[in-house]
Amino acid sequence: MPVVVALHATAPAWLTGLGWALLAMLFSAVVPYGIIWLGVRRGRLTDHHIGVREQRRAPLVGGLLSVLAGIAALVLLGAPRALVAMVVVMFAVLLVVTAVNQVWKLSAHAAVAAGAVGVLVVVFGPALLVAFGLVALIGWSRVRLGDHTTAQVLAGGVAGVLVGVPTYLLLG
């Protein structure tokens, strides 16, 4: 998602857009996944799905702090407003996911995917509503793997859209 938004915001300077996207992805995906990976590797987390509720708080808060650092870096370095807005959307969706996941395992995958597709529809128009088919596939895979119930996936998707789209509209 950051790649699409950054390239769109910096067109035709695609190399600049790619650089901004990589910076955004570092803080919003690479570092948070690294926190989880290290937690599993060091035995603090039982698995990369963080199935044990008591283990969720630290990696999710670490992810939130990483995304906040990414927002600060993007703002200070003068990233395109649309990209900063997109990373703020990621933060807002992750904040809701973190809060809910303290008591119930809402699907973060569905939330992020639905929020991202919602923003794509805002940026590129209603023709991209078909991309919600990808959200359905992601949701199906989460249920099929046994990581979530249908309700957890649906709740994640709804949360992603209800948090992501208004946040982007306010900031983008």
Reported as a single tens digit per residue, the pLDDT across 19-65 is 999 999 999 999 999 999 999 999 999 988 887 878 888 999 999 99
Q: Please give the pLDDT value at position 119.
A: 93
Is the torsion defined by CA of 137, 164, 150, 124 positive or negative?
negative
Q: Does the pLDDT of residue 172 top 80, yes or no?
A: no
C-alpha–C-alpha distance, residues 82 and 11, integer Å: 12
For the entire predicted model, the pTM comes to 0.89
Q: Which two tokens stand for residue 137?
A: 């596939």
Q: Are 75 and 123 in contact (CB under 8 A)?
A: no
